[in-house]
Chain A
Amino acid sequence: MMPRKNKPKRPKYQYFAFWYLVPTLIVITAFHVIPIFFSLGLSFFSWDLISTAKFEGLRNFRILWNDPLYWLSIRNTIYYTIVAVPLNIILALTIAILLNQKIRGMDAYRLIYFIPVITSINAVSIVWKLIYHPNIGLLNAFIGLFGIPPQRWLLDPKWAMLSIIVMSVWKGLGYNVIIFLTGLKNIPPHLYEAATVDGANRMHQFRHITLPLLSPVTFFVSVMSIIGSFQVFAQIYMMTPGGGPMNSTLTIVYYLYKVGFGDFHFGYASAIAFELFIMIFLLTLFQKLVVEKRVHYQ
């Protein structure tokens, strides 16, 4: 055997490697890195893209602070998040647990639950818009069977956001089911066997084995779902154009779109975009620092 060298030989730099990075670095720099600084800069100006930009200092942020529509859009986004994310996770986990057994037709079920995920949100938004239609919609016809009076769903400020949420959960559920299912399959079966020998019932097993061992997966799923729900746009645009009755479905990204590309207030839209960026950034950071410490890793 060769004696082990104390110091590994310092490898020579292979400068040609930079060439391989060029395409990716150019595109990322031009369309991701520069824009984020540009956006921050732009938020100090008022600008409509055509006339000369005017420096306004912090004025955009001050207006934003007092903009009722902005606060409403944040409120709506938070409402969407705190209803849709737990609903999605609870349903997805339940389905995954049901699927995580040696049952016939497992592949078929998996296939079915995943179909809404791959279909495009715009096409299914059109379908759901008709499902929610007050006169000829499926939902009102269905609840009519139980004697419940028809509702105006997407046209009613009380129901509009909930309708969007139900449709979004239906659309995104399968994705989390598959991720939970993989997580469940990674839990060693001998743990359950040992627990059964010790006389633990199903509920105990779920609480003391499944949930703790699944927590990294649950963590991953919730971070991704929360970030995703802060970016909701397409279904709002398609199903409740304009932001819904009494702006009840106006989300942050929809408001950003409206201000930027409806009114062409680019500086103001940049201020909104920058706050959205900070929010998502902090959310990710918070989850990484605080929640990740508490979850159980094998």
Chain B
Amino acid sequence: MESLSRANQVQRFFVHFLLILGSIAMLFPFLWMVSTSLKSPEDMLSSSLNLIPSQFMWRNYLDAWNAQPFARYFLNTIIVAVVTVGCQLFFSSLAAYAFSFFHFPFKNFIFIALLGTMMIPQQALLVPDYVILANLRWLDTYLALIVPFTASVYSVFFFRQFFMTLPRDLYEAAVVDGCSHFGFYFRILLPLSRPPMLTLGIFSFLGSWNSFLWPLIVTNSTELRVLQVGLAYFLSEAGTEWGLLMAASTFSIIPLVIGYLIVQKRFVENQAMTGLKE
């Protein structure tokens, strides 16, 4: 084994010291959130630096959960995210299939035009999309929350990159064996596409779960509120009940953190890869 020189050891210590300092800065707000979520209002006035509540107010969680229909908010968020992601993966892989396996007129033109639409910031579309949804009478429905996000040029691009790496003979061989073009997509391509499906699935799920401005604008009724909008309402209504607000923040973050810990390895690697490919 190679022995570490003194200078090396000092350097290592220094690196760990900085990284731990950074980690504390990253995690402390969460720790403090959980600690505050268990404090009583009187407790909060005493010292903000005290992490252990004098009395654990587990009730805060129950009270927060009941202060707003959070069960409904969670349900809405999950419905919207699942349907959006499902449709997006299906539609995008179909489109990518056409772009990578077939010849048709204006193929490159359509592809480049699609890529061009990625330059349009979503915020610039808020007003016209709102008007379009109003004319369709889709405002304040699940359709408004889901349909505009069922297509994703980024996903099409990502799937296409993946399909291009597959051998072309695969398709010809399948056709010779009597496979229809949809049969090839369904029985051969889809099962092969698990890696991009997972990566894109995780990202669009997260995107849908965390989206805020759009649902804030296109929905009105309590029954259709998603979690992020619900949190905003809770913040404006609960005002100074910080214990309850922290409890609500905690239980809305927990599913994400648990999910992240489960998929983290794949997640972090893919995040970097997709980031760089662009």
Report which A residues bind B (CB closer than 8 A).
11-18, 20-21, 23-28, 30-36, 38-39, 42, 49, 95, 98-99, 101, 103, 105, 109-116, 118-124, 126-131, 133, 135-138, 140-142, 145, 170, 173-175, 178-179, 181-183, 217, 220, 224, 227, 230-231, 233-234, 237-238, 241, 253, 256-257, 260-261, 266, 269-270, 273-274, 276-277, 280-281, 284
Contact = CB atoms under 8 A, between A and B. Distances in A.
Contact of A38 (B22, B132, B227): B132
Contacts of A35: 125, 128-129, 132
B124 interface: yes
Tell me if B's interface is mostly helix, strand, loop or mixed: helix
A69 to B, nearest CB: 17
Contact of A123 (B98, B102, B206, B231): B231
Nearest to B218: A261
B95 A128 contact: no
Contacts of A115: 26-27, 30, 257, 260
10 contacts: A14-B104, A28-B117, A35-B129, A49-B134, A120-B209, A120-B231, A217-B276, A234-B213, A276-B123, A276-B124
Given A27-B91, A234-B213, A270-B128, A118 B276 contact: no
B19 A99 contact: yes
Contacts of B123: 231, 233, 253, 256, 273, 276
Given A122-B232, A217-B276, A260 B16 contact: no
B125 A39 contact: yes
Nearest to B152: A24
A183 B232 CA distance: 37
Nearest to A230: B121
Contacts of B231: 120, 122-123, 126, 238
B29 A36 contact: no
B156 A122 contact: no
Nearest to B231: A122
A76 to B, nearest CB: 15
Interface residues of B, number: 91
Contacts of B235: 126, 129, 238
Interface of B: 12, 15-16, 18-19, 22-23, 25-27, 29-30, 32-33, 36, 44-45, 47-49, 87, 90-92, 94-95, 97-98, 101-105, 110, 114, 117, 119-132, 134, 147-148, 150-151, 153, 156, 181, 185, 206, 209-210, 212-213, 216-217, 227-228, 231-232, 235-236, 242, 245-246, 248-249, 252-253, 256-257, 260-261, 264, 268, 271-273, 275-276, 278
B117 to A, nearest CB: 5
Given A174-B26, A273-B127, A136 B44 contact: yes
A127 B246 contact: yes
A39 B29 contact: no
B249 A33 contact: no
B276 A220 contact: yes
